[in-house]
A and B are shown apart, each in its own frame.
Chain A
Amino acid sequence: MRYRFVDTIIALEPGLTIQCQRTWPEDLELFEDHFPEFPVVPGVLLTEMMGQAAGLCLASRTDENRSAMLIQIKNAAFREWVRPGELLDINAEIISSQPRLARIKASTERAGTLVASAELLFSFEANRKLGLPELDPVLTTYWNQKKARDCS
């Protein structure tokens, strides 16, 4: 399983807010254990998913060539089971950002119902150090689609 948990970006205010979507594939091996007769997405992965959404929002800032590193989970709540195959809407907001730190709040909804939320703290590492591309592929797709819409 690759460690990318945001499928698409729906809306983006760089460095401020982001709306994304994710559907967890039903055939992921982890569901064989979590749980054999009742597959549900683990809360820790929902937290990571929300963190990655926030990370994309931070990465979208002009001249940002660093990636956000999770350093603290201040609060996380999981209100309902999340099943594979369900379309999830993820919203993240950058609460505060300084050169070395960013605080975010994020939520996950399924058909308008809140299923999870988290408040996270990030530091930053250079993409070059991590071996990551300068621009995230999901962000690249979003910018290309936006450019095409704006030109049409």
Chain B
Amino acid sequence: MRLRGWVVPVLIAALAGPLAAQTRTITGTVTDSATGQPLAGAQVNVKGGLQSAQSRDDGSFTLNRVPNQGVTLGVRLIGYRGLEVSVPLEESGPVAVALAKDPFKLEEVVVTGQFVGVERRNLANAISTVSSEDLRDVPTPSIEQQLQGKVAGADIQTNSGAPGGGVQVRMRGITSINSAAEPLYVVDGVVMSDVAIASNQNAVTAASQGSNPELTQDNQVNRIADLNPNDIERVEVLKGASASAIYGGRASNGVVVITTKKGRTGRAQVNATQRLGFFSLSNKLGSRVFANDAEVDAAYGAGVGAAVGCTPTSCPFFDHEQELAGRKPLSYETLASVSGGDDNTKYYASGNVKHDGGIIENTGFNREGVRLNLDQQLGSRVTLSVNTNFLHTKAERGLTNNDNSTTSYYVALAFIPSFVDLTRNPDGTFKPTAPSPPFPPSNPLQTAALSSNNEDVWRILSGANLEWRAIQSQNSSLRFIANGGLDFFNQRNALFFPPDLQFEPVDGLAGTSLLSKSDNTNLNLFGTVVHNYAPAGRGFSATTSAGVQFGRRNLDIDRTTGRNLVGGQSNIDAATNIQVQQRRELIKNLGYFLQEEVLTAGERLLLTAGIRADQSSANADAGKLYFFPKAAASYRFPNLIGEGSEFKLRGAYGESGNEPRYGQIFTPLTSTVNIGGVPSLIVSSGAETGAPDLRPERMREFEGGFDMQLAHGRANLEVTAYQKNVSDLLLRRDLFESSGFARQIFNGGKLRTRGIEAALGLQLVDHKDFAWFFRTTFAHNRSKITQLDVPSFQQGGFGASLGTWEFTEDSSATRIVGNDTLTAPLTLPDGTVLPTGSAVVRRIGDSNPDFRMGFGSDFTVKRFGLHFLFDWQKGSNILNLTKLLDDFGGVTPDFAVPLPQPVPFGNDLLTTVGGQRLAGFGVTAGNYVETASFLKLREVTLTYELPNSVVRGILGARRSARLSLSARNLFTVSDYTGLDPEVSNFGNQAIFRNIDVAPFPPSRSFWFSIDVGL
């Protein structure tokens, strides 16, 4: 059917229902009550009606077709207190609305379910919200880093300093041992994949051989890194099951609900930002300085000293770390957005180009993206929103983390003392690590210069939302919402190690080319109905929502490993030894939910109850429904502690799940190996089998707390205590080896995490020329294994000789144990006495911090602004295995420092610090356990708003321009002797972080930015 241009509006008008016989138009302006400045973007609604409008740049608004009777207008704007204004029939002039500031956003609507929310002042959960103005202070590659230190209870750590992400978010401590540890990310209603796909660099590093067969040491990036933080309007962080239950079987680790920017009524707003900056190495390990040839000969054999140019009085010294990671290439980011619209159509379009230059040659991060968010009114009852984001990221990651082949930069440096010259020869080739042996044939400067490790991601994230307001009356409203979303990306990992690399001939196959292509498709479909019933004069409103959600996640990873490259070609078919690998995953799930929310007692009491039922193909019984209920209540006491104060008590309970990973329900025979081309089907060594009733982990969380606003809204305190009980943990039961299987995945055991978190905000000074806003967050938690249906077991890391985690009933879930030698007799519970010198495995640390704290301030002095944010972690331990490697190589800076008193060890006498540390290898794992406490200056920004007169002269009226200087991770205070106490060799892990093996070195970044609003 062809529709003529006029048909659609008429049709839509017809759909809009009967019009009142006579209507009128209301106009008005919205201003800031303190400054009198016009406010744009305020939402103006006719209460109980369908008419709504947004204020324009000059604060004006126009409401058409208002019934010809007295009406009440509701006026709302984020950051301001809402107001109701009654407009009698006889009033004909413009309506003046003055809104008062609401610095803690008590009236902001916060998500409590699918497409429903309540005002923050009534909220029964501690949901943290971070808005766009808090996200733009200092640029970061990925969104999670923007949240560091800003969300109480979210422990956010960077896995390494590599450009392009790899960041872990853990909400409220430990929720699982083996299962997923990352929160669920929902962007404009679409579940966005945060999967981390390994680059397959393991084919070169051989890190995951022996005891760690999975590709977890590839310094992989979790893909939420693709999202452009600058497009985000706000982030709501649902930290535990009590808040996230309605998201069901995947919500145990919390849910991060991200809303991107939308257009507003009014003329087109153009915003542009240009940033220039650079990254620079922020910490070095240092390397042992050799005094003379005798010291070298003693350490590496006779004649080595002379061979490397040492004399009886001196040795050459090369700062290899500086040579490797001392680059400061120009980095830049260009952002532009345009938004606007009218009452029917609103749009937000943005584009960005970003380049982070890496501190090591051939490393860096690029992102380019475009976004279009469109909202279209189809008549007065139907709204269609379409969000589309197309983006490309390219990360050049370098070669870092653990290896078993002496190829990773910092592993090689552990065996290359400071006197070895690694620089280029005059002809451009790199000097060999001579003499070799004793030094390994691996020159990290050459590796960095000639090899590449590139990760390209092309991604499209698109969602459509159709909302039909079927009923909108004084007493009730009924909305149907259909939402569909698609998240597709292709990740291409291309790694190239040319044959002339010094380490390349080691396996007899010169040159390695690795190509991996991965496709990930997430599809979501929601159908939701929301009914709101607020009978006039009855003093309550009830919101009922119900719906169904279908999700489908499909991942296909294809890897090719090519070795022995003919002519040094990087194409994989130029290799004589080609290995291919394919891994597919598909999970389908269906969820149903129902929620009831009642606000009563003069909007003081909020009661919520809901239930979610989930079925998923990841469970052994795909048809079985798992139920996740929730309930919450809050009561607020206005003016309890003085005029203008608010006090709210709240409590919430909820359950959520963490489903098995794809494939865990199966007992596979391996079909991907052969011998001489003869096909093979085998029970492979280390085969895992799934329990026949495998099901999701279940978290039951109770949280309670209070929120307080004092001093007329200038102080805000939120305090929350919670307890999470996780049962049906997905545990690995080690099977006795003679069964032929290594492990079984089954549900069992329980753990408990208790914690407290607080957020305090103070508007200390609020003067026209000087303002000081201070805020701080605090979080503390402790976990305990309360029941373990298997014998206590060790997991993670590299075994007890280097430190591993041990899980035992009634002890911490984050306890690190390791080999130790008794220095005094030890009496065991059964009465046996172990003599001094006995080898034992016992606690040598804990990977959970005592607390995390963030604090910062925003100062405004006239046109200048100063913002800073500190992130403090107190306690927790890290295994510094980089130091162990350095000790093996004898290059730790303090290695040869003499001990004040020689220490006898066996038949030997230990005389040096390094010798003593190393002598404990395998017997005193604690020698390499260090504190991971740190205080980091995450963000510091100095801004200057250009005076209107200047701006007007250059750009014209009603324009704004801002200059800023900012820095990220400017300094770190830590007793840790490694590069960075945040690192994780194994990437994102529920528990097994805190292992430092040759990571990418950390950097600080500096930026100069110009923001212009046109």
- Genuine A/B complex: no
B residues contacting A by CB (< 8 A) are: none
